[in-house]
Structure 1
Amino acid sequence: MRKAMIVWGGWPGHDPDLCASIVQGWLKAEGFDVRVETKTSAFADPAIHDLSLIVPICTMSKIEKAEALNLCAAVQKGVGMGGHHGGMGDAFRDSVEYQFLCGGQWVAHPGGIIDYKVDVTRPDDPIMSGVPSFEHRSEQYYMHVDPANDVLATTTFSGEHAPWIDGVVMPVVWKKQYGAGRVFYSSLGHRAYELDVPEIRTIMTRGLLWAAR
């Protein structure tokens, strides 16, 4: 049986407990043995090197250097990592090691909760197969991103809330290699209920399964 670990905590506005419960249900339905932790010290556990998948849900949390290095080492040796929105993309702001692993870092969501479009750019990829481009109402993440990411979906900023980014095309969903490990990320899912949006649920579940070894 494949083993996964979810670590949740940080800013409560992203419903980390509810998101962890939802993701745990998805993974259990796929046959995973799921360990759930609420402290970043779990990342320092040598046992994580034996996992198939790690899911951080830790918006604005802090991580100790040793914890980040052990997490990075585990993924580099083959453990998968996947996650969504701020739980993965706005976690551990002061850890450049983690940001290199993740492939991006949140820096803004101009306008807050707005209507925007998610454009599927890689319909040929198994994660996105059959998922159409779709309209969504939530935070439109502006991120600093790794150019080595394999981008699967994007969004285009209108400039209404920040005129200097008018027309900027920003990655929304990506996957990447980190050593022998696979990393998946989706910036969608500001609140837990968004994980039930069919397109988001499909992308997330497929992405996590792709990342897991």
Structure 2
Amino acid sequence: MPQKSALIFYGGWEGHEPEACAKVIDTMLRNENFNTERVEGTDCLAREDLDRFDLIVPLCTQTTVEKDALDNLVAAIAAGTGLGGFHGGMGDTFRMEPAYQFMVGGQWVAHPGNIIDYRVNITKPDDPVVEGIGDFDYHSEQYYMHIDPAIDVLAETTFTGEHAAWIDGVKMPVVWKHRYGKARVFFSALGHVADEFKVPQMYEIVRRGLIWAAR
């Protein structure tokens, strides 16, 4: 089987430990026989050969990007390069770029209560990305997101209203996949810091999701 290639670009807000998370993902993908490139910043998105990658993993939060670089990224994904990632590194990468958010399928807007205990419920237990994992408890930020109704939701969480009474009972996607052009796109809201990869369910969902997203 031919070796697949992945580009991991990282940076932005240090609270998400972008460099440490990039190293975790780099090791994860290399263990799955990917040839990886790990690059700091967004300048790499302007490279002419971006569409040669089978997978791109963004690990930047609250960053800016040049228009040509963003257009190049969107074109590469639309042509078939997979896009996959997690938490704010993918769900809040370019806050001012709706074209990017359209591609991801959602955008972070809040995490009421900050670091809390909550439950992740698997909604499609027969999907290969989450098959056999089951519902599980999680301790992190519970992401509230604006989402594309066309996404294929694999896991969700329910807000209690303890930290924002008006969202009591709201069910929010946690893990999803969808299509953008010819590409597969995967996202998980879990993974505030690198240490969360020690949670086996979280690690396995990201591992399977990235493999699924790769061309």
The CA deviation at 1:67 is 1.2
Moved >6 Å (runs of 4+): none
| C-alpha RMSD over aligned residues | 0.6
Residue 30 of structure 2 corresponds to: 28
Residue 135 of structure 2 corresponds to: 133
Q: Which runs of 5+ in 2 are unaligned?
A: none
SS in 2 for 1:126: coil
Residue 49 of structure 2 corresponds to: 47
In 2, distance between residues paired with 1:62 and 1:196? 30
Identity of aligned residues (%): 54
Residue 185 of structure 2 corresponds to: 183
In 1, distance between residues paired with 2:65 and 2:96? 8
- Report how many residues are paired: 213
The CA deviation at 1:58 is 0.2
- What TM-score do you get using the length of structure 2 for normalisation? 0.98
Match of 2:194 among 166, 171, 192: 192
In 2, distance between residues paired with 1:45 and 1:195? 30
In 2, distance between residues paired with 1:97 and 1:44? 16
Residue 155 of structure 2 corresponds to: 153
Farther-moved stretch of structure 1 (56-65 vs 200-209): 56-65
Letter paired with 2:75 = A
Deviations 1:46-74 (Å, cap 9, x if unpaired)? 21101100000001111121111111110
Report if aligned partners of 1:72, 1:98 keep a CA contact under 8 Å in 2. yes
Report if aligned partners of 1:174, 1:185 keep a CA contact under 8 Å in 2. yes
- What TM-score do you get using the length of structure 1 for normalisation? 0.99
Letter paired with 1:129 = E
Q: Which runs of 5+ in 1 are unaligned?
A: none
Letter paired with 1:120 = I
